[in-house]
Amino acid sequence: MGVTLGEEIMLLSLDDASGATKALSSTGWGVAGGILLDLVMAGRVAVEGGRLEVADRTPTGIPLLDGRLDRIAGWTGGGKRKKASDWLAEDQAKSVRAAVESLCERGLVAEERVRVLGLFPVRRYPEADGSVEREVRERLASVVTGGADPDDRTAGLVALLHAAGLHRQAFPGLPRKRVEPRMAGIAEGDRAGDSVRRAIRDVRAAVAVATTITVVAATS
Model confidence at 220: pLDDT above 70: no
pLDDT at 160: 93
Whether residue 181 is predicted with pLDDT greater than 50 in this model: the reply is yes
Mapped onto helix, strand or coil, the DSSP state of residue 115 is: strand
- Percent of the chain scored above 70 by pLDDT? 90
135 with 142: CB under 8 angstroms?
Answer: no
Residue percentage of the chain with pLDDT more than 90: 65
pTM: 0.90
For 9-43, what is each residue's pLDDT tens digit? 999 999 999 999 988 889 999 999 999 999 999 99
pLDDT of residue 216: 42
Task: Count Cβ atoms within 10 A of the Cβ of residue 4 and give its class: 0-12 exposed, 13-18 middle, 19 or more buried.
Answer: buried
31 with 37: CB under 8 angstroms?
no
Lowest average pLDDT, out of 46-50, 114-118, 162-166, 215-219, goes to 215-219
- Measuring CA to CA, which residue among 214, 93, 108 is closest to residue 165? 214
Q: What is the mean pLDDT of the chain?
A: 88
